[in-house]
Amino acid sequence: MTSKVADDMAGGDLSAFANRRTDERVAARFEVRFAQVQDAARALRAYSLNISAGGLCLRTRKAYDVGAQVRLSMAIEGQEFHLTGIIAWVRDEAEAIGVRFTDMSDEDRARLQRVVDSFKR
């Protein structure tokens, strides 16, 4: 634990451990394709574990670096999405990565939010 985090904990500031997501994630499994040909070949099949309007968690065997940019294509509930994101975190032991969507249009965000909402029903 870093001394900053330890100092914050000692002072009662637990904000360092707060959930930083602004969008609720829901469990959802669907195939995700990587737009870059080299990534598509190496990723084999990538499947989502959960999704929100702001990002998703994917299971993949390909190693990614935090901060790397990815372009994803996915069909969810009959809707096709082509999105750009950055790798927010990597969990090697679970072969999972977190992707935070970037440069998303308001229209795509609204469409994705409707799809996410449909998984809650």
Superfamily of structural domain 24-120: predicted glycosyltransferase like domains (2.40.10.220)
The span from the CA of 18 to the CA of 89, in Å, is 16
Q: What are the extents of the domains in the chain?
A: 24-120
Question: How much is the pLDDT for 8?
Answer: 40
Q: Name the 3-class secondary structure at 53.
A: coil
58: left (phi over 0), alpha (psi -120 to 50) or beta: beta
pLDDT in tens, 6-41: 344 344 443 333 345 567 778 888 888 887 656 555
The span from the CA of 67 to the CA of 62, in Å, is 15
Q: What burial letters (b/e) apply to 38-50, b meaning 16+ CB within 10 Å? A: ebeeebeebebbb
pLDDT top residue among 68 and 25: 68
